[in-house]
Amino acid sequence: MRTLMMSAIAAVVLAMPAMAEEKAMDHGKLAGQKMMDHSKMDHGPMAKPVEASGVGVINSVDREKGTINITHEPMPELGWPTMTMDMPVTKRVDLGAVKPGDQVDFKVKLGRDKQYRVMEMEAVK
């Protein structure tokens, strides 16, 4: 009798972490889908645009070179997945206003050299 109860309790305890994990995963999927839908709503599946906007987290700032390293969320307009990349910024962007760890909204623009540069960037409050 005692052994039976112990194993019943063990089964419940073992099942609980699995359930919690499943819930967390579902939540993440839902949030991701919502973002994708939002992007599709704003922009049609056209050729790569000259300008695009995104959100990301700053990893590092190089004020001398005028570049940032950013991990950005997918940018469907450009066909870019989530990635970590170095990106040059234009002179309009004040690199003194952001620091590593900041979450930012940013806008990129395609230059004549076919490279995207950050033309606007603002820390999300």
Where along the sequence are the contacts to Cu ion (CB under 5 A)? Answer: 80, 83, 85
117 in Cβ contact with 109 (< 8 Å): yes
Q: How does DSSP assign 63-84, residue by residue? A: TTTTEEEEEE--BTTTTB-SEE
φ, ψ for residue 2, nearest 5 deg:
-65, -40
Smaller CB separation from Cu ion, 95 or 106? 106
CB of 83 to Cu ion, least distance (A): 4
Smaller CB separation from Cu ion, 25 or 108? 108
Smaller CB separation from Cu ion, 7 or 71? 71
The Cα 27–Cα 53 span in angstroms is 25
CB of 42 to Cu ion, least distance (A): 19
CB of 119 to Cu ion, least distance (A): 15
